[in-house]
Amino acid sequence: MIKDRILTVDQMIACERRSEELGVPASELMAAAGEKLAGHILSETMADGQPDTPEVVILAGKGNNGGDGMVAANHLFRSGISVRVVLCCGNPATETAHGAFEKLNKSIEVMFYDGDTTHAWAKAISESTIVVDCIFGTGFSGEIGRELQPLFIHLNTYARRVIACDIPSGVDARSGQAGVLAVTADITVTMHAKKLGMLLSPAKYFCGKVIVDDIGIPAAANTGDPLMENEIYAKASMLSDEQLGKKFLTSRKPWAHKGTFGKLVCVCGSDRYVGAAGISATAALRMGVGLVEVCSTENVVRSLSANLYECIFSTMKSDDSGCMTSDNAEEILSRLEDAKALLVGCGLGHTPETEKLVAELVEKSPVPVILDADGINSLVPNIDVLLKKKSTVILTPHPGELAKLCGVSQEEVLSDRLRYAYGLSKKYGITIVSKSSETIVCCADRTEVITAGNTALSKGGSGDMLAGMIASLTAQTKRSSLINCILACMVMGRCAEVLSTKRSERGILTRDILAYMPFFLKHLESGEE
């Protein structure tokens, strides 16, 4: 069993195959999965509030998830529990599931789902004290077909307590997508390791309490698979505030001066997007960088310098679009001589000139470059310039920007966000911060899923804030991009969560989070929970 690592669906399939090669066949894994599932169902029958004579119904699909259910049915039967099985999609379709069906104790009542809610299957669901969802597991994708909709509606309406096997049915274990009809489980018993989709929205809200259990996959099956997918080591960042402070915050020497904490150059803003440049620069300062120089259009500089007293401003040339032109590149590169990082893109605007400017900066920057928003959009036509980069590059795309970077539709990216983010990171040797309600950070074969945050961040300005924070940390320390990105995402997410304990997520503004940040960092420095 893997406790701290997340597996993708492809990795889980690879594990199963390797397990077979190592002498533990699929039938044995299913036997273990069914037995473990039965054990958790039994514990649940003994939980407070459960009746003395529990009745369990197992809803079995035609794949191996259904097979797990049939093995569990036998164990429950042997333990004296009243158990019935509903075959929801006809007879088992895989060899292993078929084998499990053959071995199903003949005394167990088996019924078929037929879409008619006046029939026995529907009564079994509404009468049982525990409904076990083994309809679909990791093999599910797409939508729940019309013929099965009455089953899912009935289950979600009438089931008293639902235990899902491996993953709630209707939830896509790869993407975290889930339609409204997906099974809402009270408990999900998942095999061997958490699957990526269970951590992502909306799927995570369907899983209830997640229990990971061992099914005897040999340890050696977890590594060394030739599948590209298996190179990804994904982990969830569920650090407590104490761990975050102790592990990730660097100490500040009392004799430090502004140069100790680095200079950050921000090539941000355009006449239309003034605020984005201000937010990213403020976020960088709030996160502790020594000095911020904002290079932007005359209008942006005039507007921001009236309030942002802590920054240095450099006026760049712009054209009729109100965006900076590419002939600023040399001037910006000269400003990098004493800088430690370069942030490009927040409010930059996207024109043929910004495309040339971004390409030249990415190619020639001697310091790490953080590209966000229109910095990313402007990079897309010349993306291969990343192969000529001289320094570290971090990209912070939302799903639409990730889709453009990968040359596919947004829908396609959302069907397997980790794979696209990872592929891009690997191809260009860069760090990808794939933003969404859960952020996936991919960097050199390691992937971290950050779940901190809430809808207070679902507003214009959050992306600029995050980019500024990452850039700030990059300018301050030489440590890995992965750690800087995790820290920035966690701090932003936790600030939003803490602020939301006292006020509605609806009305919290980026500036509120920025103002609260030093208080939250103080809390992290104190090393308290």
Ligand X SMILES: NC(=O)C1=CN([C@@H]2O[C@H](COP(=O)(O)OP(=O)(O)OC[C@H]3O[C@@H](n4cnc5c(N)ncnc54)[C@H](O)[C@@H]3O)[C@@H](O)[C@H]2O)[C@@H](O)CC1
CB 477 within 8 A of CB 489: no
Residue nearest ligand X, Cβ-based: 137
Q: At its nearest, how many Å lie between ligand X and the CB of residue 136?
A: 4
- The option from ligand X, K ion, none interacting with 376 (CB < 5 to 8 A, set by class) reads none
Bridge partners, 210 (sequence order)? 188
169 annotated ligand-binding residue: yes
Q: Which has the closest alpha carbon to 174: 210, 203, 133? A: 203
Residue 12 as a binder of ligand X (CB under 6 A): the answer is yes
| From 113, 136, 206, 273, residue interacting with ligand X (rule: CB under 6 A) | 136
| From 82, 94, 156, 451, residue interacting with ligand X (rule: CB under 6 A) | 94
Of the ranges 131-139, 226-234, 267-275, 501-509, which one interacts with ligand X (CB under 6 A)? 131-139
Q: At its nearest, how many Å lie between ligand X and the CB of residue 174?
A: 11
Label residue 426 exposed, middle or buried (CB < 10 Å: 0-12, 13-18, 19+).
middle
Q: Which DSSP symbol is given to 180?
A: T
Site for ligand X in 196-255 (CB under 6 A): 215
Q: Tell me the C-alpha to C-alpha distance, in Å, between residue 103 and each of 42, 113, 496.
A: 21, 21, 53
463 annotated ligand-binding residue: yes
Backbone angles phi, psi at 466, to 5 degrees: -60, -45
- The option from ligand X, K ion, none interacting with 248 (CB < 5 to 8 A, set by class) reads none
Cα–Cα distance between 37 and 137 in angstroms, integer? 13
65 annotated ligand-binding residue: yes
| From 64, 129, 138, 169, residue interacting with K ion (rule: CB under 5 A) | 169
Cα–Cα distance between 66 and 58 in angstroms, integer? 9
DSSP string, 293-339: EEEE-HHHHHHHHTT-TTSEEEE--B-TTSSB-GGGHHHHHHHGGG-
Contacts 24+ apart (CB under 8 A), 403-406: 404/376, 404/377, 404/380, 405/376, 405/379, 405/380
Nearer to ligand X, 414 or 452 (CB): 414
Both structure tokens of 395: 């990209």
Q: At its nearest, how many Å lie between K ion and the CB of residue 231?
A: 28
| From 8, 65, 129, 481, residue interacting with ligand X (rule: CB under 6 A) | 65
- The option from K ion, ligand X, none interacting with 133 (CB < 5 to 8 A, set by class) reads K ion
Nearer to ligand X, 88 or 367 (CB): 88
Label residue 297 exposed, middle or buried (CB < 10 Å: 0-12, 13-18, 19+).
buried
The label of the residue with tokens 């899902």 reads 164
Backbone angles phi, psi at 371, to 5 degrees: -110, 130
Residue 165 as a binder of K ion (CB under 5 A): the answer is yes
CB 360 within 8 A of CB 282: no
Q: At its nearest, how many Å lie between ligand X and the CB of residue 210?
A: 14
140 annotated ligand-binding residue: yes
Of the ranges 12-20, 225-233, 260-268, 513-521, which one interacts with ligand X (CB under 6 A)? 12-20
Nearer to ligand X, 64 or 282 (CB): 64
Residue 133 as a binder of ligand X (CB under 6 A): the answer is no
Identity of residue 420: Y
- The option from ligand X, K ion, none interacting with 139 (CB < 5 to 8 A, set by class) reads ligand X
Backbone torsion region of residue 472, taken as left when φ is above 0, otherwise alpha when ψ lies between -120 and 50, otherwise beta:
alpha
Of the ranges 60-68, 115-123, 311-319, 328-336, which one interacts with ligand X (CB under 6 A)? 60-68
Of the ranges 135-143, 155-163, 426-434, 472-480, which one interacts with ligand X (CB under 6 A)? 135-143
Identity of residue 50: Q
Q: Which has the closest alpha carbon to 183: 34, 282, 65? A: 65
Residue 138 as a binder of ligand X (CB under 6 A): the answer is yes
Q: Which has the closest alpha carbon to 86: 107, 103, 100, 69? A: 69
Residue 351 as a binder of ligand X (CB under 6 A): the answer is no
Residue 293 as a binder of K ion (CB under 5 A): the answer is no
| From 6, 33, 131, 441, residue interacting with ligand X (rule: CB under 6 A) | 33
- The option from K ion, ligand X, none interacting with 68 (CB < 5 to 8 A, set by class) reads ligand X
DSSP string, 259-277: GGG-EEEEE---SS-HHHH
CB 316 within 8 A of CB 324: yes
- The option from ligand X, K ion, none interacting with 353 (CB < 5 to 8 A, set by class) reads none
Strand order in the sheet with 431-434: 194-195, 5-7, 233-237, 446-450, 439-443, 431-434, 393-395, 369-371, 341-344, 263-267, 291-296, 312-315
Label residue 380 exposed, middle or buried (CB < 10 Å: 0-12, 13-18, 19+).
middle
Nearer to ligand X, 56 or 165 (CB): 165
Q: Which has the closest alpha carbon to 445: 227, 230, 168? A: 230
Nearer to K ion, 86 or 491 (CB): 86
- The option from ligand X, K ion, none interacting with 94 (CB < 5 to 8 A, set by class) reads ligand X
Backbone torsion region of residue 288, taken as left when φ is above 0, otherwise alpha when ψ lies between -120 and 50, otherwise beta:
left
Of the ranges 7-15, 101-109, 174-182, 494-502, which one interacts with ligand X (CB under 6 A)? 7-15
67 annotated ligand-binding residue: yes
Residue 189 as a binder of ligand X (CB under 6 A): the answer is no
Of the ranges 66-74, 464-472, 476-484, 488-496, which one interacts with ligand X (CB under 6 A)? 66-74
Q: At its nearest, how many Å lie between K ion and the CB of residue 65?
A: 5
Nearer to ligand X, 37 or 488 (CB): 37
- The option from K ion, ligand X, none interacting with 29 (CB < 5 to 8 A, set by class) reads ligand X
Binding residues vs ligand X (CB under 6 A): 12-13, 15-16, 29-30, 33, 61-68, 93-94, 136-143, 145, 165-166, 191, 215
- Specify binding-site residues for K(+): 65, 133, 169
Residues in the annotated binding site: 64-68, 133, 137-143, 166, 169, 276, 347, 398, 435-439, 463-464
